[in-house]
Structure 1
């Protein structure tokens, strides 16, 4: 089952359909969710391992033991087909392909064992960011700029995804494959993420967790004029153009 948020005649509506083809994607310009969006940093094994030396230096001394969180504020949220607007005077800007975990029930202090019961389904996220200098304290200025969080084009029911912890994620820039990863590269599992966040934040229906982005190398750099697509196995494809602010 696919869940859409579409805008028609100036009004926002939600649709549920059995197949993606029943609703034209050009109608899916709104983000697929409308709740709070919480991101998990340092949740990719390659990224985590690349910072191991820094973790053991001052002021940190040791690697983080629990998920490191950040937010993507409402102004960042856009949908399929909308335009990512990037600054041209602040250095490189990177795509951030990730699985989006969408809550279907109010979750407060849930356990890892029952965390999956609170998940409605999954969507695709492009967690766009400027280059970061601190992963322990992700910079709001780098992550929370307008249009820096495309989400969509829909939410697919969790029951339709056999194993969300083993999904291939592919990123294309101008139709060229530039990056591949898999959700099996998460440092912290989906269940652990939901349990940890809900231990001190009550997650509401429609809230979304960004499961984690890979190491941002030059292959993920985006520029004005590009078209970037993030594709996740069994979920779909999120496409957005890129333009200067």
Structure 2
């Protein structure tokens, strides 16, 4: 099942996807352009992985494995829904998208082994975690402005139930700018997969229902400009649309 959250007729609705339409709980079917999209869940703790794809790490001249996963937090202010807008500051030179598989935790997880880790997943969605390289101090101490600006991380449109994703480590990711493909990769190229990330994080802290893990992006991140429509898609999960606007 694909589940989402939208605003329609001044009220928030939990919705499902039916034959490409948005179905309200009363059975009405709407086109996706008739609603305002919210993130499919209200996330609690949001974890973000850096340099978790071998090809992306190589693209950035990291040729040796990191001693520890590069993980940092995102504030709730960063998360917006499908078809939202993200601001590009007027004084930056390089602001790029990051198409990522987002994992949503479904039950409390502490000291979970990777063999059991997927049992703790509620579902999967798409995140586009924009980054501004101008603000980057270094890859191990990312400045807050790189990843925690308002509305810099579109998520959605749907949360797909875990049981409907046969293998989260065999999904194709693609990004399009104004209809032109600019990024393509596979979740199979992650350095630490979904199960390993849950094992690692739950090894020193409790993961709670509603926590979200953004698992990193493959190579191919390019600069975006004001007016660009950016579509990040993951096979079997959906297509997430976003537009870059000026200040």
**TM-score (normalised: structure 2):** 0.88
Q: Evaluate the alpha carbon distance shift between residue 89 and residue 98 of structure 1 in structure 2; reply closer, same or farther with a 3 A threshold.
A: same
Most deviating of 29-38 and 92-101: 29-38
Partner of 2:201: 197
User: For residues 183-194 of structure 1, what are the structure 2 equivalents within 5 Å?
Assistant: 183-194=187-198
> Which of 136-145 and 121-130 deviates more?
136-145
Shift of 1:13: 3.1
Match status 1:244 vs 2:246? yes
Q: Where does residue 225 of structure 1 map in the other structure?
A: 227
State the SS of the aligned residue for 2:115: coil
* Correspondence for 1:137 among 141, 154, 172: 141
Shift of 1:147: 1.2
In structure 2, what is the Cα distance between the partners aligned to 1:22 and 1:8? 11
Query: Which residue among 57, 71, 76 is the counterpart of 1:48?
Result: 57
Runs of 5+ consecutive residues of structure 1 not aligned to the other structure: 56-62
Task: Measure the CA separation in 1 of the matches of 2:74 and 2:232.
Answer: 18
Q: How far does residue 11 in structure 1 lie from its aligned partner after superposition? A: 3.4
Hey, what does 1:29 align to over in structure 2?
37
Cα drift, residue 179 of structure 1: 1.2
Equivalent runs, 1:81-230 vs 2, <5 Å = 81-131=83-133, 132-215=136-219, 217=221, 220-230=222-232
1:22–1:29 distance in 2 versus 1, CA, 3 Å = closer
- For residues 137 and 173 of structure 2, what CA distance do their matches in structure 1 show? 25
Normalised to the residue count of structure 1, the TM-score between the two structures is 0.89
Q: C-alpha displacement at 1:225, in angstroms? A: 0.5
Comparing 9-18 with 160-169, greater Cα deviation is found at 9-18
Contact 2:183 2:220 in 1 (8 A): no
Q: Which residue of 2 aligns with 1:59?
A: none
- Structure 2 portions without partners, runs of 5+: 24-30
Q: Kindly state the Cα deviation for residue 14 of structure 1 after the two structures are TM-superposed.
A: 2.1
Counterpart of 1:76 in structure 2 is 78
Give the CA deviation at 1:83: 0.6
Q: Are the counterparts in 1 of residues 78 and 149 from structure 2 also a CA contact under 8 Å?
A: yes
Residue range with higher mean Cα deviation, 35-44 or 228-237 = 35-44
| 2:176/2:232 contact within 8 Å kept | yes
Determine the C-alpha separation between the residues in 1 that align with 2:211 and 2:166: 22
When the two chains are superposed, the root-mean-square deviation of aligned CA atoms in Å is: 1.8
Give how far 1:236 is off.
Answer: 0.6
TM-superposed deviation, 1:166: 0.9
